[in-house]
Amino acid sequence: MSEQYDVGVVGYGACAAVLVNLLLERGLRVIVFERDAGVIEIPRAAHFDDETVRVFQALGAADDLSESFTTSKDYGIYNALGERVWGFRQIDPKPTDQGWLSDYWFYQPYLEHYLRRKALDYGATAKLHCEVVSLEERQDGVLVAYKDLERADDEGPQLVRVRYLVGADGARSFVRKQLGLEMESLAPRQRWMIVDIRVHDGVADNLSTDCWTKVTPEETITFVPLPNNIMRFEFSMKEELAESAVKSTESIVEFIGRWFKPGDYDVLRADVYHFHSLVANDWRKGRSLIAGDAAHLMPPFLGQGVCSAIRDAMNLAWKLARVVKGTSSDVLLDTYQAERRPHAYALVKIAGEVGENIRWMANAAPEELAAMGRQDYVAARPPLGPGVHAARSKGGILAPQPRLADGSLLDYRVGYNFALVGDPALISSLSAKAVASLAALGTAIVPDASDTVRATLARLGAAVMLVRPDRYLFGVADSASDVDALITDLTGMLR
């Protein structure tokens, strides 16, 4: 068997494409398998947050991609009385502590084309229109059998050995099923119809440029404005309503007719979706792991589905690279589930609760609606679970991204690496052993005394912060001895 790779990735959606690029950036040999012949040319995910754009910074792609994003100032949920009861709002949109706006809309096919081109330039091997049919773990890797769907049916599967395998192959994950990994349900499933249309140039509309959900006893509708003149309508389906009743051309024309005449738009997609709130109990079995929708599924009410999937890739890639290169034990991969599952679990739970609140509102009496509380959503940033961080020193929370003295954002300076950032005097006083340890980790050392950096660190109660490649804090410190202790802890955990 001639084909051997460091990492194999099954699936080639947004999560997988980010993971493949990060692994290649780390110098690994990567092969990716995708059943479809090309990118699915319809949008599925629609929303990014500020943390996700930092991932694109790590890939050197933020500036290219951000030109294709559009921004959203508001998302509101309205009850049958016309009252806003929940949502998030940016009256005067400004960058968050992550250096970017809190929310963006994006066009998924453009993102995936871009990331695949970048991966090819890096040297990825992509087996498109190829279906993985079996996995067999060996002592030194995973034997992957796949079938090229363009070859004759009587030709047997081809074999590739990879040292580690990641299943990022979506909600119906073949890898998850092959590994026998069960999922926990956090909320009842819901059935929604999703219709995406592209409105023709020059067609006027009376729809807001913001996103909204309107709940009445008769129907619940969500509207999402996407780039490229694309508009998404989602409406909940009562259990007794048959799919055929809402997917017919006549039904779609009647529904969209509230806003547009038939000749004003093209239908890109009209499908019934089941919104699930599920989290896999285990994310690893031997040399195989799962990520993205294969590991967790959430309804779209927080817009965190693809964000959470990309966080998986960001967390996993640097750990896989260290293990493959022999600078860390295989045990390091256990921290992937330990850190990411509690984080994803918290977001799936919140999203499921929002979905259940929407369902309750559709059936609530007017007096119950009048008594509802009103609140705006504050971006949930759960901490990581236990793993490679110093919890006693604010480890495990998302690190801020300040602007440096030269005006650039921090991540442009450090790349996808560890970083020690902060007070120049303190950094210059570090012991030779500490400096050598940081160098061995490939740490970007950023001494910076700008007002922005000092203010950022002051909010953390620290003079310096030690940031992981995935932008989560390993810990913070305000003395050289504390930094030495952090470095000693980090090197010990990585061994």
Q: What is the pLDDT of residues 333-347, one digit of tens each?
A: 999 999 999 999 999
What pLDDT is stored for residue 409 in this prediction?
Answer: 97
Q: What is the pLDDT of residues 359-394, one digit of tens each?
A: 999 999 999 998 888 777 777 899 999 999 998 899
**pLDDT above 70: residue 454:** yes
Same domain, 468 and 329: no
Residue 172 forms part of a structural domain: yes
Q: Of the ranges 1-10, 354-363, 447-456, which one carries the lowest mean pLDDT score?
A: 1-10
What pLDDT is stored for residue 238 in this prediction?
Answer: 82
| Percent of the chain surpassing pLDDT 70 | 99
Residue 152 forms part of a structural domain: yes
Same domain, 330 and 406: no
Residue 371 forms part of a structural domain: no
Residue 347 forms part of a structural domain: no
Could you give the number of structural domains in the chain?
2
Mean pLDDT of the chain: 94
Q: What is the pLDDT of residues 108-138, one digit of tens each?
A: 999 999 999 999 999 999 999 999 999 999 9
Same domain, 284 and 172: yes
Position with higher pLDDT, 88 vs 275? 275
Q: What is the pLDDT of residues 52-70, one digit of tens each?
A: 999 999 999 998 988 888 8
Q: What is the pLDDT of residues 87-103, one digit of tens each?
A: 887 767 789 999 999 98
**pLDDT above 60: residue 2:** no
What pLDDT is stored for residue 89 in this prediction?
Answer: 76
Residue 436 forms part of a structural domain: yes
The domain in which residue 119 lies consists of 4-72+94-182+278-339
Same domain, 328 and 398: no
What pLDDT is stored for residue 364 in this prediction?
Answer: 94
Residue 136 forms part of a structural domain: yes
Final residue in a domain of this structure, among 304, 319, 339:
339
Quick one: tokens of 38?
């090309």
Final residue in a domain of this structure, among 339, 358, 380:
339
Q: What is the pLDDT of residues 200-249, one digit of tens each?
A: 999 977 787 789 999 999 999 999 999 989 999 999 988 788 888 888 89
Q: Give the model's confidence band at 309: pLDDT under 50 very low, under 70 low, under 90 confident, else very high.
A: very high
**pLDDT above 70: residue 266:** yes
What pLDDT is stored for residue 114 in this prediction?
Answer: 96
Q: What is the pLDDT of residues 423-440, one digit of tens each?
A: 999 999 999 999 999 999
Same domain, 101 and 18: yes
Residue 256 forms part of a structural domain: no
Same domain, 312 and 434: no
Same domain, 332 and 403: no
Position with higher pLDDT, 3 vs 306? 306
Same domain, 43 and 109: yes
Residue 187 forms part of a structural domain: no
pTM assigned to the model: 0.95
Same domain, 297 and 395: no
Same domain, 17 and 98: yes
Same domain, 45 and 118: yes
Final residue in a domain of this structure, among 322, 339, 356:
339
What pLDDT is stored for residue 250 in this prediction?
Answer: 92
Quick one: tokens of 31?
């092969």
Q: Give the model's confidence band at 1: pLDDT under 50 very low, under 70 low, under 90 confident, else very high.
A: low
What pLDDT is stored for residue 482 in this prediction?
Answer: 96
Q: Give the model's confidence band at 396: pLDDT under 50 very low, under 70 low, under 90 confident, else very high.
A: very high
| Percent of the chain surpassing pLDDT 90 | 84
Q: Please identify which residue in the block is written with the tokens 């040999």.
A: 29
Q: What's the CATH code of the domain at 443?
A: 3.40.30.120
**pLDDT above 60: residue 395:** yes
Q: What's the CATH code of the domain at 29?
A: 3.50.50.60
What pLDDT is stored for residue 429 in this prediction?
Answer: 96
Same domain, 149 and 25: yes
